[in-house]
Amino acid sequence: MAGVGGGNDFQWCFAQVKGAIDEDVAEADIISTVEFNYSGDLLATGDKGGRVVIFQREQESKNRPHSRGEYNVYSTFQSHEPEFDYLKSLEIEEKINKIRWLPQQNAAHSLLSTNDKTIKLWKISERDKKAEGYNLKEEDGRLRDPFRITSLRVPVLQPMDLMVEASPRRIFANAHTYHINSISVNSDHETYLSADDLRINLWHLEITDRSFNIVDIKPANMEELTEVITAAECHPNQCNVFVYSSSKGTIRLCDMRAAALCDRHTKFFEEPEDPSSRSFFSEIISSISDVKFSHSGRYMMTRDYLSVKVWDLNMENRPVETYQVHEYLRSKLCSLYENDCIFDKFECCWNGTDSAIMTGSYNNFFRMFDRNTRKDITLEASRESSKPRGILKPRKVCTGGKRKKDEISVDSLDFNKKILHTAWHPKENVIAVAATNNLYIFQDKIN
Amino acid sequence: MYGRYCSSIVSSAENPVSRRSRKQQLESKMAGADGDDSLYPIAVLIDELRNEDVQLRLNSIKKLSTIALALGVERTRTELLPFLTDTIYDEDEVLLALAEQLGSFTALVGGPDFVYCLLPPLESLATVEETVVRDKAVESLRKISHEHSPVDLEVHFEPLVKRLASGDWFTSRTSACGLFSVCYPRVSSTVKAEIRQHFRTLCSDDTPMVRRAAASKLGEFAKVLELDYVKSDIIPLFTTLASDEQDSVRLLAVEACVSIAQLLPQEDLEALVMPTLRQAAEDKSWRVRYMVADKFSELQKAVGPEITKNDLVPAFQNLLKDCEAEVRAAAANKVKEFCENLPDDSKENIIMSHILPCVKELVSDTNQHVKSALASVIMGLSTILGKDDTIEHLLPLFLAQLKDECPEVRLNIISNLDCVNEVIGIRQLSQSLLPAIVELAEDAKWRVRLAIIEYMPLLAGQLGVEFFDEKLNSLCMAWLVDHVYAIREAATCNLMKLVEKFGAEWAQNTIVPKVVAMANDPNYLHRMTTLFCINALSEACGQDITTKQMLPIVLKMSGDQVANVRFNVAKSLQKIGPVLESTALQAEVKPVLEKLATDQDMDVKYFAQEAISVLALA
């Protein structure tokens, strides 16, 4: 069976899995975001415990031709701590909602991480030299007699083992009343936006005490509230354009050139609802949980509860492509509503060439769609199939009455195992899939 | 123990001993040093360069010159600078201090002959990710570039600029942009050609950061170029940057436009600069138009009167009518300056027929920032237009703005009354002024009330004592019992300024009785206001009034049942003591303070004792 992605005929195989195997999963260890950096050499994850773990791809070595550069832990740090807002009597969770890498500007790497309220800019840098030689003490720490100093020693830098340091460089706080759901770095490399349920703010990366509110959908009377902002993203190369999606299944595109306040959108993307499939759940499942521009900037992709849609920025009235992620759940919406799964926020991502897309589902399944061939595939991130370089077998969920061999029935799906966060390497067929507290890395195997 | 010992000596290094004598002192000590403890403080400073505490590291870096002096020029060059070159791991504030220090380090490395030794550490500082550090490193590099001989500039400095300009990371390339203009004038023509080439490359860099850096230095670089190259090199770059896809780059080209226009002869402006400027004034992005509006006065001066008349006037009209409020506000801010700088022969005509109609529309703009920006400059037009036109055309606008719903607009008009006063006299306005002042004085926002209080002395001066007594005096008194402390405090300060203006006699008749009456107010906060007023007024009112009218009240209040009032009595007595007659001080103040010094309340005791010792009554 051919894999999906890039058009080449290949299969996905297991590469690595990170995280404990224990059945008992600590809440704090659950991965809440996954993000490759611009080169793909670094991979960052954030978790509910406020930690950020960065993996670095090893250089390919000639001795082990088959190992295609494994990702190993590069740096781990506590990005956010639980806090308490005394003025509003609110607990602020430490959970990392989003991580975004900044374009690399010197040997160090920088990223933005955010919880519900506060965005932080971190610098991850290497140190491989240390100073040696004191005047007042010997190298072993013994103090020298201060009255017998006859000459001055200037410290000398000596090589040492590589040390990776993460240091907080800026803290962007106190600008969001509601929970931050998105951060996105602008292509001008000096600003970024942050979105919460009702507002979008624009920040300068070097200024922490001031941000500009560019979108505010808060009604004068909160009783009249009918929709919230669910995600927002800057255009990859037009610095004046950004989009935000809403709980009503619509996407607004704004042009910051037109006015300082972007309350009025430039484009409005909405697919007319099919009256025949209207139900109590229509509005809930049409809510968009993620929006992502393609690398080219021509398209954007939105994820709602049951499908992924690809929109051409030039066509507002309907998506150019629609892919069903798990249509078989349509009959299960009632129980999914009861166990709150219907409110799960699945994310989606593009591959490096925009030819394929990936998004998650339940039962540790994730889906990939090839945009050229319209082929799709369901794969599973599980310990059982994690043999070194083992090929992933496509999974099938049985939708009809009779279950064929190798098929899984809808009723036996585990809704506690959900894949919400995935990331695709910007240049290669390497993907990172977060399954609860485990991070799976898969890569292609060319036939 | 070391800590205390060294810190005392370290701080002594700050004594203003001249550099030369300190150097001699240190060198002589070093020569005879054999276990000499004068090395000790320097040893501490060097060790603290790598202390774990940032503050101590920062301290040491700030005294880097002391370390360098002690080491001598040779060791500074061969040991200290190599160490500093690799210290770029440090905290930003330490790096910032280091970058600054190195800018004035030339003498410490052996003078201009060795100034190039400072380049490596500054080069590495010019590549860090923190902008303020990079900027400081560039500033220091620019500073020491002048200390290089022409030969050293080509051998050491210019290669550094090239390295930075072709660096892998954009941080180094942005830093390079600021260095071209300092080395260009002093190098040979072949090197000049290379520098121009490097600058061209950076102007079309992939990253917007670098293009922005280049765009912001374009004007500065143009200034050092030969005029022919300005035309052949700079103008194409300017045109390209001004139509960059990123508006953050385009808006910087507007700034460059000013410098470039100043360099070119008048006859070239039309062909080389104006197309770009016209395009910027109509740019799709409001931020670019905002920049044009913000730089309008500079642009106007740079392009001269003819182009102003033909091009800038319509452009300015458009900016005043722009669809984005931010742009209108920026343009409104420039109305006065623009009108002032119009050529004399057509000034009045342009204002009356082109600018004034737009201004009239802005008075009723939907955005309050626009209106208040206009209100802050509109009064200035009256001096340009003269009495008759002001009365006919501007006065209705002032009156409309005085009635504006937004307090900031009204405040801005009131704060600029002096301009109108000179031209038409304030009487013309007083009818409308009064309701506006009263409304502001009673505004629900205390910051608005505070702002109008601050203008009271100015208004009083212009309206005269009669008008003031009749209409405004009661307002000033009402503020004394405002429920916000900041207002009461400002009100007392206001009284003092009024007395300074109108004199002690006026104070005695109008203010003092009212202030004194508040001493019996049931609210202790108001009673305290009496004391604060007396503190403020005593000096302005003079010895006689203070002793005869104010002192008795203060003394009487020493028996107040509220301790806060009593200790404020002690504080007041301390304050007004120097103004009082010495007999009253001994006979009346002393016994009261002595009594308060035995008060049950410890604060009252404290302030009474303090007053006794300050007034030397013990």
How far apart, in whole angstroms, are the C-alpha atoms of residue A313 and residue A293? 9
Q: How far apart, in Å, are the Cα atoms of A91 and each of A46, A83, A418?
A: 19, 6, 26
- B131·A206 Cβ contact <8 A: yes
- Split at pLDDT 50, 70, 90, the class of A8 is low
* ∠ CA B192-B193-B197, rounded to 5°: 115
Q: How far is B220 from chain A (nearest CA, A)?
A: 23
* Mean pLDDT calculated for residue range A409-429: 94
Task: Report the residue of chain A nearest B72, measured CA to CA.
Answer: A152
Put simply, whether A163 touches B (Cβ < 8 Å) is no
Task: Report the residue of chain B nearest A170, measured CA to CA.
Answer: B130
Residues of B in contact with A189 (CB under 8 A): 207-209
Residues of A in contact with B172 (CB under 8 A): 106
pLDDT of residue B18 exceeding 70? no
Put simply, whether B8 touches A (Cβ < 8 Å) is no
What are the tokens at B51? 């202390």
List beta partners, residue A380: A365
pLDDT of residue B246 exceeding 70? yes
* Mean pLDDT calculated for residue range B474-486: 90
- A187·B35 Cβ contact <8 A: no
- B39·A148 Cβ contact <8 A: no
pLDDT of residue A4 exceeding 80? no
pLDDT of residue B345 exceeding 70? yes
Say which of B71, B82, B286 has its CB closest to residue A257. Answer: B286
How far apart, in whole angstroms, are the C-alpha atoms of residue B262 and residue B273? 10
- Between residues 291 and 330 of chain B, which touch chain A (CB distance below 8 Å)? 323-326
pLDDT of residue B22 exceeding 50? no
- B209·A105 Cβ contact <8 A: yes
What is the b/e burial string over B557-577, where b = at least 16 CB atoms within 10 angstroms of the residue's CB? bbebeeebbbbbbbbbbbbbb
* ∠ CA B70-B72-B75, rounded to 5°: 110
- A105·B42 Cβ contact <8 A: no
Report the Cα–Cα distance between both ends of chain A, in Å, rounded: 11
Least confident of A59-73, A97-111, B152-166, B394-408: A59-73
Q: How far is B92 from chain A (nearest CA, A)?
A: 9
Torsion of CA B280, B285, B287, B292, to 10 degrees: 20
Q: Whose structure tokens read 């010997």?
A: A138
Put simply, whether B64 touches A (Cβ < 8 Å) is no
- A189·B284 Cβ contact <8 A: no
How far apart, in whole angstroms, are the C-alpha atoms of residue A194 and residue A174? 12
Q: How far apart, in Å, are the Cα atoms of A299 and each of A285, A324, A349?
A: 22, 18, 12
Largest pairwise CA distance in chain B: 90
pLDDT of residue A386 exceeding 80? no
pLDDT of residue B30 exceeding 50? no
- A188·B208 Cβ contact <8 A: yes
- A239·B248 Cβ contact <8 A: yes
Least confident of A92-101, A390-399, B333-342: A390-399
Chains A and B form CB pairs within 8 A to the count of 118
- Split at pLDDT 50, 70, 90, the class of B91 is confident
- Split at pLDDT 50, 70, 90, the class of B603 is very high
Best probe of the A interface among B131, B246, B324, by most A CBs < 10 A, is B246
The rounded mean pLDDT for chain B is 88
Torsion of CA A323, A326, A330, A333, to 10 degrees: -130
3-state secondary structure of A350: strand
| C-beta separation of B404 from B369 below 8 A | no
Say which of A106, A147, A256 has its CB closest to residue B127. Answer: A106
Based on the number of CB atoms within 10 Å of its own CB, is B553 exposed (0-12), middle (13-18) or buried (19 or more)? Answer: buried
Say which of A136, A238, A258 has its CB closest to residue B47. Answer: A136
Put simply, whether A127 touches B (Cβ < 8 Å) is yes
Say which of A104, A107, A155 has its CB closest to residue B83. Answer: A155
Least confident of A80-89, A145-154, B305-314: A145-154
Beta-carbon-side half-sphere exposure of residue B32 (alpha carbons within 13 Å): 6
Q: How many CB atoms lie within 10 A of CB A91?
A: 11
Residue (of A366, A346, A347, A368) closest to A357 by Cα position: A368
Residues of A in contact with B323 (CB under 8 A): 259
| C-beta separation of A351 from A424 below 8 A | yes
Q: How far is A169 from chain B (nearest CA, A)?
A: 9
- A147·B35 Cβ contact <8 A: yes
Numbers of helices and strands, H then E, in chain A: 2, 32
Put simply, whether A132 touches B (Cβ < 8 Å) is no
Q: How far is B205 from chain A (nearest CA, A)?
A: 13
* Residue B36: per-residue pLDDT: 53
Best probe of the B interface among A123, A139, A149, A190, by most B CBs < 10 A, is A149
Q: Which residues touch B30 (CB under 8 Å, ≥6 apart)? A: B36, B38, B39, B70, B72
Q: How far is B461 from chain A (nearest CA, A)?
A: 39
3-state secondary structure of B326: helix
The rounded mean pLDDT for chain A is 91
* Mean pLDDT calculated for residue range B393-400: 90
Residues of A in contact with B247 (CB under 8 A): 239-240, 257
* Residue B465: per-residue pLDDT: 86
* Residue B19: per-residue pLDDT: 41
* Residue B31: per-residue pLDDT: 43
User: What's the whole-model pTM score?
Assistant: 0.83
Task: Report the residue of chain A nearest B70, measured CA to CA.
Answer: A152
Say which of B47, B248, B286 has its CB closest to residue A260. Answer: B286
- A152·B46 Cβ contact <8 A: yes
Q: What is the ipTM of this complex?
A: 0.85
How far apart, in whole angstroms, are the C-alpha atoms of residue B471 and residue B151? 76
pLDDT of residue B38 exceeding 80? no
Residues in chain B: 618
More confident residue, B185 or A152: B185
* Residue B307: per-residue pLDDT: 93
pLDDT of residue B24 exceeding 70? no
Based on the number of CB atoms within 10 Å of its own CB, is A275 exposed (0-12), middle (13-18) or buried (19 or more)? Answer: exposed
| C-beta separation of A422 from A366 below 8 A | yes
* Mean pLDDT calculated for residue range A53-62: 84
- A150·B70 Cβ contact <8 A: no
More confident residue, A242 or B420: A242
What are the tokens at A147? 């009255």
pLDDT of residue B27 exceeding 70? no
**Residue ranges of the alpha helices (H) in B13-156?**
19-31, 39-48, 54-62, 64-75, 81-85, 92-102, 119-125, 131-145, 150-152
How far apart, in whole angstroms, are the C-alpha atoms of residue B255 and residue B295? 7
* Mean pLDDT calculated for residue range A32-40: 96
- B209·A190 Cβ contact <8 A: yes
pLDDT of residue A291 exceeding 80? yes
* Residue A2: per-residue pLDDT: 44
Q: How far is A321 from chain B (nearest CA, A)?
A: 29
Numbers of helices and strands, H then E, in chain B: 44, 0
* Mean pLDDT calculated for residue range B358-362: 95
Say which of A104, A106, A238 has its CB closest to residue B128. Answer: A106
* Residue B37: per-residue pLDDT: 59
* Residue A1: per-residue pLDDT: 39
* Residue B16: per-residue pLDDT: 38
Least confident of A5-9, A79-83, B25-29: B25-29
List beta partners, residue A123: A110, A167
Q: Whose structure tokens read 């599980």?
A: A382
Task: Report the residue of chain B nearest A151, measured CA to CA.
Answer: B39
* Residue B322: per-residue pLDDT: 96
Based on the number of CB atoms within 10 Å of its own CB, is B526 exposed (0-12), middle (13-18) or buried (19 or more)? Answer: middle
Which helix or strand (DSSP H or E) is residue B570 part of?
Answer: helix B563-576
* Mean pLDDT calculated for residue range A166-179: 94
pLDDT of residue A7 exceeding 80? no
3-state secondary structure B381-415: HHHHHHHHHHHHHHHHHHHHHHCCCCHHHHHHHHH
How far apart, in whole angstroms, are the C-alpha atoms of residue B604 and residue B559? 12
How far apart, in whole angstroms, are the C-alpha atoms of residue B404 and residue B394? 15
Residues of A in contact with B86 (CB under 8 A): 129, 157
Put simply, whether B4 touches A (Cβ < 8 Å) is no
More confident residue, B434 or A172: A172
- Supply the DSSP string of B433-478, one letter for each residue: HHHHHHHHHT-SSHHHHHHHHHHHHHHHHHHHHHHIIIIIHHHHHH
Based on the number of CB atoms within 10 Å of its own CB, is B263 exposed (0-12), middle (13-18) or buried (19 or more)? Answer: middle
